[in-house]
Amino acid sequence: MGDFEKKKELFLEQKKTLDTFLKTGAISRMQYDKSYGDLIKKMGMESVTEELKTQNREEQEEELDDDIKGQCFQIHQRQIYGRS
């Protein structure tokens, strides 16, 4: 594993820790944003964060698609079987 890959792995672990702190209420959203921004700059991970944003957008779109498909199926079932 090259130096960049090691640095990226460390960055992702640090981000995961910050995510956990935010979820559990150990830090505020403001603290999270500040710490995450500092982490990106100090580790030079701007390109990685863009990659993460793209992945998150794709995951959200897939979740939305699944939700819409589920809702359509429920509507279809109601139309066929007359259930409310």
Express each pLDDT in 19-78 by its tens digit: 999 999 999 999 999 999 999 999 999 888 888 878 777 777 777 777 787 788 788 788
Query: What Cα–Cα distance (Å) separates residue 74 from each residue in 28, 36, 61, 77?
Result: 39, 41, 20, 5
In terms of C-beta density within 10 A (0-12 exposed, 13-18 middle, 19 or more buried), how is residue 53 classed? exposed
Residue 24 one-letter amino acid: T
Q: What is the pTM of this model?
A: 0.61
Q: What ranges do the domains of the chain cover? A: 1-44, 55-84
